[in-house]
Amino acid sequence: MFQGDTSFAGPSGCLCWVDLLHGIVVCTNPHQVPPVLRFIPLPDGCPAFGWSDYPYRPRMEESRSAACVGGRIKVVSMVGLLEGWNSQQFRLTTRTLSSSALRPDVLGGEWQEDGVCPPEDLWATEEYRALNLPPRTPLCPVLSAAGDEEDGVVYAVVNDIEERVVVQGRLQQIVRGTELKLKRQYVLGIDVRSNKIVSTSSSVPPESLMQMTPHLLPFDLCASLHGGAKNRQESG
């Protein structure tokens, strides 16, 4: 069953609805009747999972996202997170859909791998070590919307979590489980082609653990500001 996780305007005015578990529905003629709809499966590195794999639908935004960047449809995925791999086997991967996939005479779609970044490469960088964090898996990856200036850059969240064993009883011998405390959240700018961190920012811890996986909204703020300044100059 298709479930829309996100939507966006694609190349040449097409409209895209994305199910991050299965694929993309593309309308290539949104202003015509009848509309032409096509389904393009996600690349092989983004396997689908059925109800037999999970008792509920996974929170797909924790490991995948899709967008139109620079006139191209792209997908970013933390490969191995949903598959249950060891964290040292994870791969932050970006793929681009071929332009020919949107032609009406082409069935399916060909995805080209752009970059692959193992998290362990990030953990070894000076930028990550400067944060004084243990190895943590980047979550909620989104593609940068800054165009060619940040082509290949992905933004992701890293949580600084403290785990504390909860014990009760007069002799403190009855273990009741573990307690999680979210100390701080970091957003890392990751170049998946050179496997390095290009930017870091942090915020105070959220009030609820439900906010451990926030929704990142990528947009080109500089382009908007420059465009506004240019418009003001032309009008003046």
User: Is residue 2, in this structure, part of any structural domain at all?
Assistant: no
User: Is residue 3, in this structure, part of any structural domain at all?
Assistant: no
pTM equals 0.78
User: Is residue 61, in this structure, part of any structural domain at all?
Assistant: yes
Query: Which amino acid type is present at position 30?
Result: P
For 190-217, the pLDDT digits (tens) are 999 999 999 998 876 666 544 555 555 5
Q: What is the DSSP letter of 94?
A: E
Instruction: Compute CA distances 104 → 85, 158, 176, 232, whole Å.
Output: 38, 41, 59, 42
Mean pLDDT for the chain? Answer: 78
75 pLDDT more than 90: yes
User: Is residue 185, in this structure, part of any structural domain at all?
Assistant: yes
Instruction: Compute CA distances 195 → 55, 121, 128, 152, 191, whole Å.
Output: 35, 6, 12, 10, 6
Residue 170 domain boundaries: 54-228
- Number of separate domains in the chain: 1
User: Is residue 22, in this structure, part of any structural domain at all?
Assistant: no
Q: Which of 14-28, 37-51, 133-147, 168-182 is predicted least confidently?
A: 168-182
